[in-house]
Amino acid sequence: MTPFSADEVLARCDVLAGISAATDGIERAYLTPEHARANWTVGEWMDAAGLDAWQDAAGNQRGTLAGPTADAPILLLGSHLDTVPGAGRYDGILGTLLAIAVVGRLRARGVELPFGLEVIGFADEEGTRFGRTLLGSCAVAGTWQESWWGLRDAHGTTVRDAFIAFGLDPARVGDASLRGQSIVGYLEAHIEQGPLLQDADRALGVVEGIMGARRFELQMTGEAGHAGGMPYGRRRDALLGASEVVTAVEALARDAGAIGTVGRLHAYPGAMNVIPGRVEFSLDLRAETDALRDRVWREIEEAALKAAASRNLAFDVHELHAARATHVAAPLAAAVEAGIRASGDAAPMRLLSKAGHDAMAIADLCDYAMLFIRCKDGVSHHRDESVRADDVALALDAFEATVLAVADAHDRAHD
Ligand code: HGY
Ligand code: MN
Ligand code: MN
């Protein structure tokens, strides 16, 4: 197989797909044995591309290529290596492996850049294990929060204990941060996770910005009771209250042009002949602006309190995650556009990302831009995620040309 080719990138996606805690779709969560194996494997590929591979203090897999001088700035490239449960093989993974291949190609051609390069395979973008997303990229951005040490996974293990079990020292998490360093920007390639490129018959697109998101754990509490004996008028059925919220989420978000999803719901005690006394459920809420997202949340909360009051239930809210809507930096987006043009598309399509990305955390550290790659029927967060090999070849050309365009712009600015 040709080194640093699209075929090699795709074969590596297949290799990583085999590093999974589950067999029905891929599952690779933060600070697990699968995470360690993926980092090790990707580290080998980083080394082969000429990068110095290392794992940082938050478990991100990084590869560094020194710049022309000791004080040269660095351009960051990357995406994430963790997955949702039941994942496909390209979300995050493809962008990380494209970045490594681009570095390999530039080195093989002896290209000299005016900055150093760092490829980062972020360790926790999805928030699969601890609920709070973007832990890896926040560590790199220097925005790690002390309160996250106490977050627990489904088995009650805290982030702190998981760090120690993984061989990381919680006291050193700050070492992962790039704050204070001279950084040119961050570039991320990612599958679109929506159908717009396919519908427009485009292989690639340039991202304009990323929707703001909030995630909540919600709870309705009523009273468990006998499914036969307890008359309707005296029931305090928490699942009926939660169900009203689930449908209100769709109606309110849809009307407002936002997106709301209840992806998880557990009723307790969870028996066929017991009225559900308590329900825990999640809410993922996204919108183009933070103001819109926050307005829709207030409407959802109001609807939930109303449903709770009418059924004599208690409604509780725990916010797990909030990420502001961000916009790409125009000069870096222009480089992505130039990259796509160099790959043969004279008028690149622009899109807003409805999916979250490490770039939204890295936006607190430096400018960013993103390249989107068509995925079949927009399917993602599903085992059937699929990309075309010719699209990946175009993405590789475009991403390499993007780095060269950033270098040109950097040279022009510093001449
Ligand atoms: O959920 C998201 O938007 C991302 O795929 N983590
Ligand atoms: Mn994802
Ligand atoms: Mn992703």
Q: What per-residue confidence (pLDDT) applies to 24?
A: 86
Query: Which domain range does residue 308 map to?
Result: 212-323
Atom of ligand 1 nearest to the CA of 125: 6
Q: What per-residue confidence (pLDDT) applies to 394?
A: 98
CATH number at residue 406: 3.40.630.10
Together in a domain, 37 and 81: yes
Together in a domain, 243 and 271: yes
Condensed to tens digits (0 to 9), the pLDDT of residues 269-317 reads: 999 999 999 999 999 999 999 999 999 999 999 999 999 999 999 999 9
Q: How many domains is the chain partitioned into structurally?
A: 2
Q: How far is the CA of 92 from the centre of ligand 3 (A)?
A: 4
Q: What per-residue confidence (pLDDT) applies to 415?
A: 83
CATH number at residue 255: 3.30.70.360
Atom of ligand 1 nearest to the CA of 126: 6
Average pLDDT of 126-142?
A: 96
Q: How far is the CA of 97 from the centre of ligand 2 (A)?
A: 16
**pTM (2 decimals)?**
0.94
Ligand 1 pocket test target in 190, 381, 382, 385 with most atoms within 8 Å of CB: 381
Together in a domain, 65 and 87: yes
Q: Is residue 86 part of a domain?
A: yes
Q: Is residue 114 part of a domain?
A: yes
Q: List the residue whose alpha carbon is closest to atom 6 of ligand 1.
A: 126
Atom of ligand 1 nearest to the CA of 91: 5
Q: What per-residue confidence (pLDDT) applies to 1?
A: 87
Atom of ligand 1 nearest to the CA of 354: 3
Q: How far is the CA of 133 from the centre of ligand 1 (A)?
A: 9
Together in a domain, 203 and 143: yes
Average pLDDT of 112-126?
A: 98
Last residue of a domain, one of 270, 302, 323: 323
Condensed to tens digits (0 to 9), the pLDDT of residues 191-203 reads: 999 999 999 999 9
Last residue of a domain, one of 294, 323, 352: 323
Together in a domain, 304 and 341: no
- Does the pLDDT at position 266 exceed 90? yes
Together in a domain, 189 and 82: yes
Q: Is residue 62 part of a domain?
A: yes
Q: Give the pairing type, strands 314-323 and 183-191.
A: unpaired
Together in a domain, 219 and 315: yes
Together in a domain, 294 and 329: no
Ligand 1 pocket test target in 30, 81, 132, 133 with most atoms within 8 Å of CB: 133
Condensed to tens digits (0 to 9), the pLDDT of residues 312-346 reads: 999 999 999 999 999 999 999 999 999 999 999 99
Q: Is residue 315 part of a domain?
A: yes
**Percentage with pLDDT > 70 across the chain:** 100
Q: Is residue 374 part of a domain?
A: yes
Condensed to tens digits (0 to 9), the pLDDT of residues 148-173 reads: 999 999 999 999 999 999 999 999 99
Together in a domain, 234 and 195: no
Q: State the ligand closest to the CA atom of 133.
A: 1
Average pLDDT of 166-192?
A: 98
Q: Is residue 1 part of a domain?
A: no
Alpha carbon distance 404, 55 (integer Å): 27
**Ligand 1 cavity residues, CB under 6 Å:** 125-126, 355-356
Q: What per-residue confidence (pLDDT) applies to 203?
A: 98
Together in a domain, 269 and 307: yes
Last residue of a domain, one of 323, 346, 363: 323
- Three state DSSP letters for the chain: CCCCCHHHHHHHHHHHHCCCCCCCCECCCCCCHHHHHHHHHHHHHHHHCCCEEEECCCCCEEEEECCCCCCCCEEEEEEECCCCCCECCCCCHHHHHHHHHHHHHHHHCCCCCCCEEEEEEECCCCCCCCCCCCHHHHHHHCCCCHHHHHCECCCCCEHHHHHHHHCCCHHHHHHHCCCCCCEEEEEEEEECCCCHHHHCCCCEEEEEEECEEEEEEEEEECECEECCCCCHHHCECHHHHHHHHHHHHHHHHHHHCCEEECCCEEEECCCCCEECCEEEEEEEEEECCHHHHHHHHHHHHHHHHHHHHHCCCEEEEEEEEEECCEECCHHHHHHHHHHHHHCCCCCCEEEEECCCCHHHHHCCCCCEEEEEECCHHHCCCCCCCCCCHHHHHHHHHHHHHHHHHHHHHHHHHHC
Q: What per-residue confidence (pLDDT) applies to 169?
A: 98
Together in a domain, 175 and 225: no
Together in a domain, 139 and 239: no
